[in-house]
Amino acid sequence: MYVTHQVMVTRSFPVDVAEHPAGTTTPCSYLVHYPGPAEDMNAWNLHYLEHHPAIMRTFPDVRQIEIYTRIDWVDRLPSQRVEHMQRNKLVFDSPQSLAHALGSDVIKRMRADFVKFPPFAGGNKHFPMLTRAVRPPRDPRAR
């Protein structure tokens, strides 16, 4: 098995409606991967964080927006370290909600901002996936 690891900072951005409606089908996450690097990481982060989340927020029924950026870290893990530039996660109520969002006019605004990004290498990849939240069982001793 090929395993890599990376530590990243998580930045959560506000959305208009964070709660999923009752009886919602399995949520769907849309992950975007930017392997990088950017010619100027500071310029990249400034532009991206100041512009793109505000556009993402206008997707219909987006429930969560998180942007993960790289940081320096120290570890002794045996797996291979990677230093990807950035990853994003948007969460929707269902695959149909994601498809509706990606078919909306918001995608045109996303693409218009994309062409304004500071220079970077590596392109990007998009991964829609069903999402299941796994939480540890509640400790009965906790109050």
Per-residue buried b or exposed e for 99-115, using 16+ beta carbons within 10 Å of the residue's own CB: eebbeeebeebbeebee
Which residues are within 8 A (CB) of 89 and not within 5 positions of it... i.e. 6 or more apart?
Answer: 29, 30, 31, 64, 65, 66, 68
Q: Give the pLDDT confidence score for residue 133 in this predicted structure.
A: 78
Q: Is residue 139 part of a domain?
A: no
CA–CA distance, 85 with 87 (Å, rounded to integer) = 7
Domain assignment of residue 96, yes or no: yes
Indicate which CATH number applies to the domain containing 89: 3.30.70.100
The reply to whether 142 falls in a domain is no
Q: Sign of the CA dihedral 130, 15, 99, 47?
A: negative
In a domain, 137, yes or no: no
- Within a domain: residue 138? no
Distance CA 75, CA 58 (A): 38
Enter the pTM of the model.
Answer: 0.88
What whole-number distance in Å separates Cα of residue 8 and Cα of residue 72?
9
Question: What is the tens place of the pLDDT at every residue in 16-71?
Answer: 986 766 665 789 999 999 999 999 999 999 999 999 999 999 999 999 999 999 99
For residue 62 the two structure tokens come to 């987006």
**Total count of domains within the chain:** 1
Give a yes or no: residue 12 inside a domain. Answer: yes
Its domain, for residue 89, covers 8-17+24-72+83-130
